Structure 1
């Protein structure tokens, strides 16, 4: 790996005093990456690019938006109809939120499949969960800003959840609202925070990348690179790979922006907010549906047997379950007791992983359905499996599962095959 070198005297002079070019060269050009990363490792860079798109379009929209309950809905309509390319900017921002969650969810499930949360990358994983929480807060507040029916009632329902907290719940809700109902102070606060939080996300992303480059990327085999034979420079090998993934991503993104811009939204949000008319079925955006299903899965109080004393009522239990499903992810590196990272060598874990994926998809579907049978029972079963997967199955698998033998190094499958070509590399790795 060669260090940064240039014949341009001005660049050399500047870099000597503020080594930006050396830093970029070290971390984006000569950075040694495992030689066997596949296209599933594209989702991290795609998430970063989507974040930039969201901030750029958000800044443009903020210049035209009016954060007032009497004018917010009309200002969004003005953006769509009167501002030059306002419809395009808003559709990119609106669908960008959905695509941001898609790539981040796929990025996290890839980490679950290949054990990217295991030592020494626990802090890297924890920072990723913090980014997810910040994304959720930003997306929720942004959904309120158009001030449509679903915006208003979604804000009312979600903020009211904090009233379930004993003693201080009602005070927290009043503080969030800035009054006694979702009104103008609420909209102003949400607009300010929605504007601010993306820059907080950028700061945490830098920490995330810092932690990533401390120990390097995980890889499909889940073993550490042993030497130069296991690594290749990030550029041009992975920059080209990322550009291919970006091209596919932008094609899919453009298809939604230009041909189905409202497919992932709710039609009620094109009706101006009316506190006197409650929608027949209040649902959040699709990326919150699994957590919404967990919230509604708790329909019973938790009491001390034979005393009638209620410890946790159903509302508080639902709130704890919903937030607990995310907080649980922070402890994942210590809940999974297996020393083997990649599910390629963990046949039992691989099966349970796909059951978890199905459970999450079922929760997403249940969250979009009315809170009635059979959806309540199905949601309870899927919620129970979600928590059992992390709290019971993973700790037990580390003790009961017999993993397949690991290769000596990343390049070992290639060397054993007697070739160094791409096809020769791919075949034995799939066998592994």
Structure 2
């Protein structure tokens, strides 16, 4: 596998471009997704009537993470090999079924060619499932309509505008208003994306790690093993939880819980308003601290573990869960601003 990638990079015409488009595209995909999730978080896009839309979105996020994980092993570099080794071994911490589950995922007792073939098949098939989920997501969005920065349901307002007498009065057609705006956004994205592909494809080791330019060696463990950047916040949470009773299962539980808690967000937010524009100061501070916390956890997940970094990750992990689990309290007690009846007011 490593030799195949090197052959594509060095001998196949434009092979290097294909590889860099793929590796940079994976990181760009997650950057856009994280920005999309952040927008949904601050504008309350998970609130009624969009609960199902949010849940489908979280499922898409999980499918993306799985696709990226299975693809991470395929270059068969040092970090790919040992990163997969660490992640797969996490499942062995699950009581009773852990060992058998790890063997089933690997297809062998160790990371081997069987694992490589299995991960390649999963990496190929999952995008089709992802495409189906995106289609369902769009259908669900079409049913309830898009949210807006004010969090106002325009479908409940008066009907009729200059384009369509049956459409919401405050609605506007997708074309040309949104299509032109999106073209500008896509053009800006492509400029930055292609600049990275052509001039900085490794992105300082964040998109392509230096150890991954060495062939996988089961007999040589890298000095520091860390997953690619978009997994590192959850990896930091995993490492922050100390082993208890001789098992690391509590860290595994915390890592998966940090993702699964997003499913319950529509019911954790008890605020009478949706958008951060009209929420109280407590929510604004909590969200701002949450963004900082997530970035710091991502940084800590990239770094070698030290007592100081472990303590910082533990504090960050506690706040991560406090943000979600305390949400029913602080969103209910805070004072909110009145929401206008229409977006045009």
What TM-score range do you get, normalising by the shorter chain? over 0.9
Cα offset for 1:229?
Answer: 2.8
Cα offset for 1:75?
Answer: 0.5
State the Cα deviation string for residues 174-218 of structure 1 (Å, max 9, x = none).
111111100011000000000010111000000101111111000
Q: Where in structure 2 are there 5+ consecutive unaligned residues? A: 159-167
Corresponding residue for residue 269 of structure 2: 336
Higher RCO, 1 vs 2 (CA within 8 Å, ≥6 residues apart): 2
Corresponding residue for residue 111 of structure 2: 182
Corresponding residue for residue 254 of structure 1: 194
* TM-score, normalization by structure 2: 0.94
Residues 359 and 386, structure 1, Cα contact 8 Å, conserved in 2:
yes
Find the aligned partners of 1:174 and 1:246 in 2 and give their Cα distance.
43
Residues 55 and 263, structure 2, Cα contact 8 Å, conserved in 1:
yes
Corresponding residue for residue 163 of structure 2: none
Cα offset for 1:339?
Answer: 2.2
Residues 229 and 411, structure 1, Cα contact 8 Å, conserved in 2:
no
State the Cα deviation string for residues 313-335 of structure 1 (Å, max 9, x = none).
55101101111111000000001
Cα offset for 1:411?
Answer: 1.3
State the Cα deviation string for residues 365-401 of structure 1 (Å, max 9, x = none).
1101111121000000011000000001x11123211
Stretch deviating more after TM superposition (131-140 or 396-405) = 396-405
Corresponding residue for residue 409 of structure 1: 342
Corresponding residue for residue 278 of structure 1: 221
Find the aligned partners of 2:60 and 2:265 in 1 and give their Cα distance.
16
Aligned to 1:164, the other structure's residue is in SS state coil
Cα offset for 1:109?
Answer: 0.7
Q: Where in structure 1 are there 5+ consecutive unaligned residues? A: 1-71, 302-309, 413-432
Residues 243 and 251, structure 2, Cα contact 8 Å, conserved in 1:
no
Find the aligned partners of 1:144 and 1:246 in 2 and give their Cα distance.
30
Matched, 1:82 2:31: no
Corresponding residue for residue 331 of structure 2: 398
**Pairs aligned (count):** 330
- The Cα RMSD (Å) is 0.9
Cα offset for 1:300?
Answer: 4.2
Matched, 1:347 2:287: no
Q: Which of the residues 139, 143, 148 maps onto 1:219?
A: 148
Cα offset for 1:117?
Answer: 0.2
Q: Stretches of 4+ moved more than 2 A in 1?
A: none
Q: Which of the residues 47, 52, 58 maps onto 1:118?
A: 47
Q: What is the 5 A alignment of 1:282-321?
A: 282-301=225-244, 310=245, 314-321=247-254
Q: Which of the residues 99, 102, 106 maps onto 2:28?
A: 99
Find the aligned partners of 1:350 and 1:300 in 2 and give their Cα distance.
34
Cα offset for 1:299?
Answer: 1.1
State the Cα deviation string for residues 63-83 of structure 1 (Å, max 9, x = none).
xxxxxxxxx111001110111
* TM-score, normalization by structure 1: 0.75
